[in-house]
Structure 1
Amino acid sequence: MTPRRSADSDTLTFTERARRQQLIECTIDLISAKGYPATSLSAIAEEAGISKAAVLYHFSSKNNLTQATLAHVVAEFTAYIEERVEQAPDPRAAVVAYVRAMISYQRANRRHVRVITEMLLDDKGGTELTTPGRHDTGGRWQTLADLLTAGQEAGLLREFSTPTVALAIGGAIDSVISHWLLHPDLDLEAAADELVTFTLNAIDRRG
């Protein structure tokens, strides 16, 4: 039996860490190009130029590897958003920064968008924790809801249900990105401008 490295091991060598990152990048490439179902361990091994047993040494299953891949993508995405939101001078500006960052990151990282779409947003049935589409995505817009609440508390935004408005803004962002994935000629920079206008019309104080 091939020995396996624990995903939580603190004793990985530099070479092992590099190999794990290579496998994650190969998984991103395959999911983005062929979809989650077609991304088998054998296909990942072939993409990486190693044996399937070598893949299993680092990740004990396809689910283990794809979950590590999703975690990597989400961490990169989250760090990008947080950096830009933290630079905003006030909560209202932070909401605008959030909307623009959501679009700009996805425009620059189409492969990552495909991974998130395949693993979180597509409804393909199966068990909640191990199959794409069965994850609870209700918390995806909690950061935006928190920014909206901060804007209300600062007296910069009108009173409204922050979870509902966060879902509305988030849904608009998702719709634009979904259309762009199918029609890459869509001007995402112009779309971001319209989304900001849409957002401010929804949240700004009247009069």
Structure 2
Amino acid sequence: MSVRRTSPGGEDRPLSLIERTRRDQLVQVTIDLVAEHGYAATSLARIAQAAGITKGAVLYHFASKDAVVAAAQAHVLDALVTDVGAAVDAAPADRAPAAYVRRMIGHLAEHPDHARMIIEAMINDDRPEPEARWRPLAALLWNAREARGLGPGPDTRTLAIIAGGAIDGIVGERLQDAGYDTEAAAESLIAMLESATFA
């Protein structure tokens, strides 16, 4: 979706390179601030100060603090979905659940600011529908069973919910302890998930 701005004459026009660059800067500054200080402490004034511009200049690009935070959240989620989606698409169907788990944990461990942004969004009641959290992995698990020629098996919804909670726990532990081995944790989770899915 291309972002457009209404010109003084009332017609929509594409954003200029400078406007897109400034918006991108404001999104990144907001991600950094929310990750470091939390949503409540990330004020419009703090965003402006961190970007080196005035509050009025922030409001030129975004209608409110909520609008810039929403753009930052969308950026983080788009990056996560794109990264995980590419890993899943590159894997054979019977290995797609493992690719999903590895990349989900890997992305969030590599981008702790994204993990914190997602956590802050959930704390502030900007949560995805529960089904949106478990359905993608449940579908991958179902397809993986089919790819291995297996009939109906365990409830993939339940497995996906359990795996999602484990992913959250692994990423949360990494946020508390930067030395925590998320790669080993991902492999342990994958082993458990595959044992339950393909047994």
Return the TM-score normalized by structure 2.
Answer: 0.89
Paired residue for 1:133? 125
Sequence identity percentage: 41
Q: How far apart, CA to CA, are the structure 1 residues paired with 2:116 and 2:129?
A: 16
Q: How does 1:10-29 map to 2 (within 5 A)?
A: 11-29=14-32
Indicate if the aligned counterparts of 1:5 and 1:59 stay in contact, CA closer than 8 A: no
Task: Point out the structure with the larger helix share.
Answer: 2
Distance 2:128 2:26 in 1: 26
Measured against aligned partners, the alpha-carbon deviations of 1:178-205 in whole angstroms (never above 9, x if no partner) come to: 122112221111111111111111111x
Look up the match of 2:113: 111
Structure 2 counterpart of 1:88, one-letter code:
A
Conserved 8 A contact 1:151-1:157 = no
Deviation of the 1:134 alpha carbon: 4.6
Gaps of 5+ in 2: 7-11
User: How far 1:135 moved relative to its partner?
Assistant: 2.3
- Residue 137 of structure 1 deviates from its aligned partner by 4.1
CA separation in 2, counterparts of 1:188 and 1:75? 22
* SS of alignment partner, residue 160 of structure 1: coil
1-structure distance, mates of 2:126, 2:84: 25
Once residues 12 and 25 of structure 1 are traced to their aligned partners in structure 2, the CA distance between those partners, rounded to angstroms, is 18
CA RMSD across the alignment = 1.8
| Runs of at least 4 residues off by over 4 Å | none
Separation (CA, whole Å) in 1 of partners of 2:26 and 2:118: 17
CA distance in 1, matches of 2:17, 2:140: 39
Q: Give the conservation status (yes or no) of the 8 Å contact 2:73–2:121.
A: yes
Q: How many residues align?
A: 189
Corresponding residue for residue 146 of structure 1: 139
How many angstroms apart in 1 are the aligned matches of 2:140 and 2:34?
32
Name the CA distance, whole Å, in 2 between partners of 1:25 and 1:69. 7
Could you tell me whether the CA contact under 8 Å between 1:157 and 1:203 is conserved in 2? no
Alpha-carbon distance, 1:110 to partner? 0.8
Would the alpha carbon gap of residues 10 and 194 (structure 1) be closer, same or farther in structure 2, given more than 3 Å must change? farther
